[in-house]
Structure 1
Amino acid sequence: MDTLSIRHRTTYRYRCPVTFGEHRLMFRPRDSHDLRHVSSTLAISPTAAVRWRYDVFGNSIAIATFGEAAQELVFESDIVVEHYGFEGAYPPMEDYARKLPFSYAFEELPDLRRSMERHHRDPQHRLDAWVRRFLADGAGAETWQVLKAVNTAIHDEFAYAERAEEGVQTPIETLERASGTCRDFALLMMEAARTLGMAARFVTGYLFDPGQAGSPHGLRGAGATHAWAMIYLPGAGWVEFDPTNGLIGGANLIRVGVARDPAQAIPVQGTYFGAAEDFIDMAVEVEVERIGETMPAAALSPLSAPQGRRGSG
Structure 2
Amino acid sequence: MPILSVRHVTTYRYRRPVAFGEHRLMFRPRDSYDQRLIETTLEIEPEPASLRWMFDVFGNCVAVASFDRRAETLRFVCGITLDHTPEHTPDFPLAPHATHYPFGYGAEDMPDLSRSIERQWPDPRHEVDAWARSFIPATGRIPTQELLADMTRSVRRNFTYTARSEKGVQDPLHTLRTKCGSCRDFAVLMMEGVRALGMAARFVSGYLYNPRNDRDRHVGGGSTHAWLQVYLPGAGWVEFDPTNGIVGNRDLIRVAVARDPRQAVPLHGSYFGLASDDLGMRVDVEVVELPESPPGQHPPEVPSVEPPLAAIR
- Is the 1:209–1:217 contact (alpha carbons within 8 Å) kept by the matching residues of 2? no
Q: Does 1:224 align with 2:223?
A: yes
Which secondary structure does the structure 2 equivalent of 1:211 belong to? helix
| Count of aligned residue pairs for this structure pair | 301
Which residues of 2 match residues 176-215 of structure 1 at below 5 A? 176-212=177-213
Which TM-score applies when normalising by structure 2?
A: 0.93
- Is the 2:53–2:62 contact (alpha carbons within 8 Å) kept by the matching residues of 1? yes
Q: Does 1:287 align with 2:286?
A: yes
Corresponding residue to 1:309 among 287, 301, 312: 301
Distance between the aligned counterparts of 2:285 and 2:62, measured in 1? 19
Distance between the aligned counterparts of 1:72 and 1:308, measured in 2? 34
Is the alpha carbon distance of 1:272 and 1:231 closer, same or farther for their aligned partners in structure 2, counting shifts above 3 Å? same
Q: Which runs of 5+ in 1 are unaligned?
A: 296-305
Cα distance, 1:309 vs. partner? 3.0
Cα distance, 1:307 vs. partner? 11
Cα distance, 1:89 vs. partner? 4.5
Which TM-score applies when normalising by structure 1?
A: 0.93
User: What's the counterpart of residue 26 of structure 1?
Assistant: 26
Cα distance, 1:77 vs. partner? 0.4
Which residues of 2 match residues 1-313 of structure 1 at below 5 A? 1-48=1-48, 49-212=50-213, 216-293=215-292, 309-311=301-303, 312-313=307-308
Distance between the aligned counterparts of 1:200 and 1:168, measured in 2? 16
Cα distance, 1:57 vs. partner? 0.4
Is the alpha carbon distance of 1:89 and 1:143 closer, same or farther for their aligned partners in structure 2, counting shifts above 3 Å? closer
Distance between the aligned counterparts of 1:13 and 1:92, measured in 2? 49
Distance between the aligned counterparts of 1:191 and 1:183, measured in 2? 12
Is the alpha carbon distance of 1:143 and 1:89 closer, same or farther for their aligned partners in structure 2, counting shifts above 3 Å? closer
Distance between the aligned counterparts of 1:130 and 1:100, measured in 2? 16
Distance between the aligned counterparts of 1:271 and 1:308, measured in 2? 36
Cα distance, 1:216 vs. partner? 4.9
Q: Which runs of 5+ in 2 are unaligned?
A: 309-313
Cα distance, 1:145 vs. partner? 1.4
CA RMSD of aligned residues (A): 1.7
Which secondary structure does the structure 1 equivalent of 2:291 belong to? strand
Cα distance, 1:286 vs. partner? 0.4
Distance between the aligned counterparts of 2:299 and 2:39, measured in 1? 14
Cα distance, 1:211 vs. partner? 2.4
Describe the superposition over 1:255-278 as per-residue Cα deviations: whole angstroms up to 9, x where unpaired. Answer: 000000000000011111111111
Is the alpha carbon distance of 1:89 and 1:226 closer, same or farther for their aligned partners in structure 2, counting shifts above 3 Å? closer
User: What code does the residue aligned with 1:260 have?
Assistant: R
Cα distance, 1:140 vs. partner? 1.5
The alignment-based identity, stated in percent, is 50
Distance between the aligned counterparts of 1:171 and 1:138, measured in 2? 27
Which secondary structure does the structure 2 equivalent of 1:162 belong to? coil
Is the alpha carbon distance of 1:294 and 1:98 closer, same or farther for their aligned partners in structure 2, counting shifts above 3 Å? farther
Cα distance, 1:294 vs. partner? 5.7
User: What code does the residue aligned with 1:265 have?
Assistant: A
Distance between the aligned counterparts of 2:6 and 2:185, measured in 1? 24
Cα distance, 1:292 vs. partner? 2.9
- Is the 2:41–2:78 contact (alpha carbons within 8 Å) kept by the matching residues of 1? yes
Is the alpha carbon distance of 1:90 and 1:257 closer, same or farther for their aligned partners in structure 2, counting shifts above 3 Å? same
Compare 132-141 and 163-172 and name the one that shifted more: 132-141
